[in-house]
A and B are shown apart, each in its own frame.
Chain A
Amino acid sequence: MIDKFIATAEEALADVPDGATVLIGGFGNAGMPAQLIEALIAQGARGLTVVNNNAGNADAGLAALIGAKRVRKIICSFPRQADSWHFDKAYRAGEIELELVPQGTLAERIRAAGAGVGAFYTPTAYGTRLAEGKETRRIGGIDYVLEYPIHADYALIKADRADRWGNLTYRMTARNFGPIMAAAARVTVAQVRETVGLGELDPEIVVTPGIFVQRVVRIPSLRQAA
């Protein structure tokens, strides 16, 4: 029998080793798997490479992981924000490496990893500083930059509902990176608002099929105070 439900976030992340590459879903707070990140902080893994669109906001979630000095390198598109002080401090102190990637290239590199694509050509960033040193090629009169997939050991994502096979649905713009990160990691851990019995999710609305998900933790929805 397949049962991907895990009782607690702590159990679901117990085997994350030092130095792991971890995809963390969310765009700002929408889709941010806050309780999984808290459990990762408590678990203690260090030297992590983290992939997220941003580099943490305020003092919770990814910002707290960076503040706890667990992140060696971050791959993201938009680190600098009004409330990214934990990242800013670590960056200025030389304690964290930044790989800055245009947002669409970030998404496609994650997608490529999950889809078994070895590399791809994108027109984005051609002729800019972010393409310096990269292979380029002109195809059909358009200049492209060669980009490689981002494979990961773990993906931590937030979805809305799940069954024990790991099929997932999402809620509104909280979907963002969830589906592509789920496919790109060796172990995908999803925190969900609600778990349901097999057959209760309409197959027509499953967004992430369970084949991409290894562990599911139910975290009842609580609206976090801002």
Chain B
Amino acid sequence: MKKLDRKQIAARLARDIPDGAYVNLGIGLPTLVADYLPKDREIILHSENGVLGIGPRPAPGDEDEDLINAGKEPVTLLKGGSFFHHADSFGMIRGRHLDYCVLGAFQVSAQGDLANWHTGAPDAIPAVGGAMDLAVGAKHVLVMMEHLTKDGKSKIVERCTYPLTGARCVGRIYTDLAVLDVQADGLHVVEILGDLPFDELQRLTGVPLKKLATAA
């Protein structure tokens, strides 16, 4: 079975972000998307700690501890970038000003419910950050994740068993096997990314899939 690696998922997702979009990339895996945004598009990256217009990583030695992203990694600022306080930053998110956010996930349901902040383990120390705000606020919530857990279970499920981050919020799912759209009547396969036949993808996925008419 041929699968995409994480960089390839990021590159595939990046292709779908249009020119002029305001985008928040969640911490962890989604941050990779920044490296693959098409150079001929002007795409403005937001980070919830209070910055619009994030540029590439600084060269070693050029880091500034006052200029970081939500993952607390050093970043740079593009010409035209701006800073603002936390309430304004989340006003941008909740107020539906962001066009896209990209989040990782433990599970996504066929209705677009997202679980990405808590495994539900009783001894886990919970942490939520901005995920719940992004899930309800961004105009398009994109999820980027591996299709299967390490032990081969589908992360796309009928109903999330982990605690929810947001209900019915996910628009599109990018995995190492496929791109899937969440629609009112269920999940539609937009594109198969590996070499699996549709029937095999269906077998591995926990919920019924529909073939988009335009899908390859």
Question: B-facing mask of A77-88, CB < 8 A → 1, else 0?
Answer: 111110000011
The residue in chain A whose Cβ has the minimal distance to the Cβ of B54 is A173
Taking the nearest CB of chain A, how far is it from the CB of B35, in angstroms?
A: 21
B205 within 8 Å of A by Cβ?
A: no
B125 with A180: CB separation less than 8 A: no
Instruction: Report which residue of A80, A107, A174 has the largest number of chain B beta carbons within 10 angstroms of its beta carbon.
Output: A107
Give Cα A104 to B138, complex, Å: 13
Q: From residue A106, how far is it (CB to closest CB) to chain B in Å?
A: 8
Among A10-18, A39-47, A117-125, the stretch in contact with B: A117-125
For B129, the chain A residues whose CB sits under 8 A away are 77-78, 102-103
A100 on the interface (CB 8 Å rule)? yes
B130 at interface by CB-CB < 8 Å: yes
Rounded to whole Å, the gap between the CB of A60 and the closest CB of chain B is 13
- For A27, A104, A126, A171, the residue with the greatest tally of chain B CB atoms inside 10 Å of its CB is A104
**A111 x B87 contact (CB < 8 A):** yes
Contact residue among B51, B68, B85, B118 (Cβ-Cβ distance under 8 Å from A179)? B85
With A170-B83, A173-B83, A177-B86 as given contacts, are A104 and B133 in contact (CB-CB < 8 Å)?
A: yes
Contact assessment for B51 and A173 in the assembled complex, using a CB-CB cutoff below 8 Å: yes
Do B72 and A28 touch across chains, with their CB atoms under 8 A apart?
yes
Rounded to whole angstroms, the CA-CA distance of A92 and B123 in the bound complex is 8
Find the B residue at minimum CB distance from A100: B126
Bound: A68/B42 CA distance, A: 48
Q: Which of B9-17, B142-150, B158-166 lies on the face that meets chain A?
A: B158-166
CB distance B87 to A173 under 8 Å? no
Task: Assess whether A175 is interfacial by the CB under 8 Å rule.
Answer: yes
**Is the C-beta of A198 less than 8 angstroms from some C-beta in chain B?**
no
A123 and B85 contact, Cβ closer than 8 Å, known pairs A79-B127, A173-B49, A176-B49: no
Q: What are 26 A-B interface contacts by the 8 Å CB criterion?
A: A30-B65, A78-B128, A79-B126, A79-B127, A80-B125, A91-B125, A98-B126, A102-B128, A102-B131, A103-B48, A103-B128, A104-B137, A110-B87, A123-B137, A126-B167, A127-B164, A127-B167, A128-B167, A130-B128, A170-B83, A173-B49, A173-B66, A173-B68, A179-B85, A180-B86, A223-B65
Residues of A within 8 A of B (CB): 27-31, 53, 77-81, 87-88, 91-92, 98, 100-105, 107-108, 110-111, 122-130, 170-180, 207, 223
Query: Nearest 4 pairs between A and B by C-beta?
Result: A104-B90, A104-B133, A111-B87, A107-B86
